[in-house]
Amino acid sequence: MSWLIDPNVDPYGYIGMARNPDGSITRIPEFFPTAPPSYKSADPNHFPVLTKDIPINMEKKTWARLYIPETEFNSVPAKKLPLIIYYHAGGFVQGSAATLLFQNFCFWMANQISAIIVSVEYRLAPEHRLPAAYDDGMEALHSIKITKDEWLTNYADLSKCFLMGTSSGGNLVYQLGLRAAACVDDLAPLKIQGLIFHHPFFGGTQRTLSEVRLNNDKILPPLLTDVMWDMCLPIGVDRDHEYCNPMVEIKSKILMKVKDQGWKLLVIGCNGDPLVDRQIEFMKMLKDKRLDVIGEFSDGGCHSYEFMDESKAKTLFGTVKNFVLSIM
């Protein structure tokens, strides 16, 4: 996102796109800086974390970036760490596991939580509309369960797996949780213990009070989310589709399977996010279904503000770490 562009004036330009007269879009090259993986810490004092990429589906050009704390990598004997499978933000239309902003976030997370992070690259809309990202997210789980990669086989405890996503990644985690709960035996030895929804990206045709209150937000205003949903939802549906609005068609039977598995859920948000009312409604729905869910909502802030503030990110990762340790 460009802080020099007002998303209320030019929502496409704000996310690195140009809308053509025929309705198609053109992506602005290198709008979001990316970075390659490194087998050595680029800055050991700040990021004592090693990274590398592994393939998932060469035909779809999907892959994952692995993060491991350097101290754990060098420990003898090797210590098994919890596994956090992470899905990045971007409204399903922008971003990558290689985006520098998301890479730094995963560096901080691996270091602060002392966990293996697997950041998944999934296909984007409008070239690949939903459910493509959900399919890619699920394929990543099946790929990890059979992995021969030494970092994962030597250092990751597949029985202590957590799915985490920011914004659209949080939406993705919800859909993956529903799918995974229906096929837990097929995912063995990967065993999901919890789902972490960080500022999850939901919507609907009717504006919420927080969306009205923050209508001119400079980070994620309703006009921008409308544009994103228009590009990523299946053609011909509106924002009350189940991919966008989880309150329209509540999956009670599958949520019961989530409950039966004993998974714990963590929903994180802030009242400076236009989506906060939807996130709170989502959390309350999960509680109404008697799932084990924790809500952490802070004052102020903005959508995904931890990306821009390392001190806030440390607070977030402290919350996530306590959540992970409470299950282990």
Q: Which residues are catalytic?
A: 167, 273, 303
CB 85 within 8 A of CB 162: yes
Within 8 A by CB and 6+ apart from 243, the residues are: 130, 131, 134, 171, 175, 233, 234
Q: How far is CA 127 from CA 39, 62, 169, 231, 234, in A?
A: 32, 14, 18, 9, 11
The two three-digit tokens of residue 271, written as one number: 């009242």
**What are 196's strand-pairing partners?**
164, 266
Q: Exposure pattern of 163-173 as b/e (b: 16+ CB <10 Å)?
A: bbbbbbbbbbb
The two three-digit tokens of residue 245, written as one number: 């609005």
Residue type, 184: V
Measure the CA angle with vertex 25, ends 22 and 31; round to 5°.
155
Report which of 286, 96, 320 is spatially closest to residue 196, judged by C-alpha positions.
320
Residues recorded for the chain: 328
Measure the CA angle with vertex 130, ends 125 and 134; round to 5°.
110
What's the alpha-carbon Rg for the chain, to the nearest Å? Answer: 19
The residue assigned the tokens 């068609």 is 249
Report which of 84, 49, 80 is spatially closest to residue 321, judged by C-alpha positions.
84
Within 8 A by CB and 6+ apart from 45, the residues are: none
